[in-house]
Chains A and B, each alone.
Chain A
Amino acid sequence: GAVVSQHPSWVICKSGTSVKIECRSLDFQATTMFWYRQFPKQSLMLMATSNEGSKATYEQGVEKDKFLINHASLTLSTLTVTSAHPEDSSFYICSARDWVSGTGAGANVLTFGAGSRLTVL
């Protein structure tokens, strides 16, 4: 089945530094990837939609200059948390849409990465 690899699985950094998280679709091409963040005991919150070869679409309230998303190829999207601060500490999860062949536009399945735990000191 479809596999999405996310790296690193956890990272600790100092306040003010930048951190890059990679998301790769291993056995399928993903024109669209989604980035979520999740705080403890809460649901996943969509941050942005990443489209291959074009600018990401950010959800309301998400700072595009702080959370830089690059989707340079059909199998790789990256999220860079710039000038990270303790309040950016969270669980970041990427997902890619794997189209179900032979069905309509709505019949697609999101495959999620394992997530990246970011801790900013």
Chain B
Amino acid sequence: LAKTTQPISMDSYEGQEVNITCSHNNIATNDYITWYQQFPSQGPRFIIQGYKTKVTNEVASLFIPADRKSSTLSLPRVSLSDTAVYYCLVGVSTSGTYKYIFGTGTRLKVLA
């Protein structure tokens, strides 16, 4: 099964760029990498998805090297409201069924 590994926690200050790296050594050829944000007592919220190289949207960038065994979520100029848990997620295909196993996630705390 594909397994993701992330740092357990990170601290940052407002206005800084935050980079969170996720390791997914066993990612399958057709798997995409998706990042989610979760606030307490809420469901995870989609941030960004990518397959390779770089993807950018209005809230984040995602960097994926050629071997795709890791990915880095980049949050530009974080604010206090970005304090949350961030998960990277890859699909796992077993017997033709896709499912999604969460890793520990990274608890980001943004300080004033």
Contacts and interface: CB of A to CB of B under 8 A. Distances in A.
Interface of A: 4, 6, 32, 34, 36, 43-46, 49, 51, 57, 91, 93, 95, 97, 100, 104-115, 117
Contacts of B103: 43
Given A93-B43, A112-B44, A114-B42, A46 B105 contact: no
Q: How large is the interface on B (under 10, 10 to 19, 20 to 34, 35 or more residues)?
A: 20 to 34
Contacts of A114: 42-43
Given A93-B43, A113-B43, A108 B102 contact: no
Contacts, number: 71
A34 B31 contact: no
A34 B97 CA distance: 12
A45 B34 CA distance: 17
A109 B30 contact: no
Contacts of B31: 106
A112 B45 contact: yes
Given A43-B104, A106-B91, A112-B44, 5 more contacts: A49-B97, A105-B30, A106-B28, A114-B42, A115-B41
B41 A110 contact: no
Interface in B50-65: 51
